[in-house]
Structure 1
Amino acid sequence: MTAANALLVAIHARLSADAALVALIGADGIRDRLLPRPALPCIVFGEVETRDYSTASEAGEEHRLLLEVWSEAEGRRQAEEIAGRLRELLHDAPLSLSGHALVSLTHVRTRTGRQPKAKLFMAELQFRAVTE
């Protein structure tokens, strides 16, 4: 399993094990893609970009990943509340990766907005992870 996939598996496990987050999004609220008629709110794994981050002595990779929070609530409050919980759960989280070591996982930014065509609110969270 690649480090990026191991990271996604570990993130999914951490998020789905959190009772407070599951109460906000439901038991099936974490997905790999936004379905045509999704049950909202939900969290969707977005893009993952992986780059070589090796040193002279250690092999390593840097991963930039996006998590999207989708909500059909009237305002952005619900999306921002879920995004806040994601930051709490993942920023500097000591995740265990299968076959790899997580050096760091940090929240880089959160961007929120309304998707005019879909009339949904979305919060997009970017994280940076380094693995060995």
Structure 2
Amino acid sequence: MSATNELLTAIHARLTGDTELLGLIGEDGVRDRLVTGRKLPCVLIGELMSNDYSTSTERGEEHLFSLEVWIDAGGRRQAQLVASRLHALLQDVALDLGQHHLVSLLHVRTQSRREAKTKLYVVELRFRAVTEPIAAVTA
């Protein structure tokens, strides 16, 4: 499995395993896309960009990704509560990625807005993760 897929799988497991977050957004509140007719609030795994971050001696990847909080009732205040919980769950956390090592996972920025067409509040959190492959153990 690629480092990107392992990272997304670990993040999804971390978010869906947190009862406090699920209390704010519901059991099916972590999604990969916004679906019309599905209950809000929700957390969407948004944009993801992975870049080669290798040095002359070590292989590595940089992953820039966003999580979006979409909410209708409760407005910006409720969206910020969910965003705060996401930050607490992911900021500088150690995640098991399987075949890759998570070197760092850091929050970069948070931005909130009201969508003009839907009138929904959206809070976008951006994170930066760095991964490297786990070296094979030789005898």
Structure-1-length-normalised TM-score? 0.97
The match for 1:67 is 67
Q: CA deviation at 1:119?
A: 1.2
In 2, Cα distance between equivalents of 1:106 and 1:74? 27
In 2, Cα distance between equivalents of 1:6 and 1:32? 15
In 1, Cα distance between equivalents of 2:124 and 2:31? 14
The match for 1:8 is 8
Letter in 1 for 2:65: L
Q: CA deviation at 1:55?
A: 1.0
In 2, Cα distance between equivalents of 1:88 and 1:41? 18
The match for 2:77 is 77
In 1, Cα distance between equivalents of 2:66 and 2:38? 19
Q: Percent identity?
A: 57
The match for 1:47 is 47
In 1, Cα distance between equivalents of 2:123 and 2:61? 26
Q: Across the two proteins, how many residue pairs are aligned to each other?
A: 132
Max Rg structure = 2
Q: CA deviation at 1:38?
A: 2.2
1:1-132 aligned at under 5 Å gives the runs 1-132=1-132
In 2, Cα distance between equivalents of 1:74 and 1:88? 21
Long gaps (5+) in structure 1: none
Q: CA deviation at 1:32?
A: 0.7
In 2, Cα distance between equivalents of 1:16 and 1:45? 12
Letter in 2 for 1:104: S
Secondary structure of residue in 2 paired with 1:76: helix
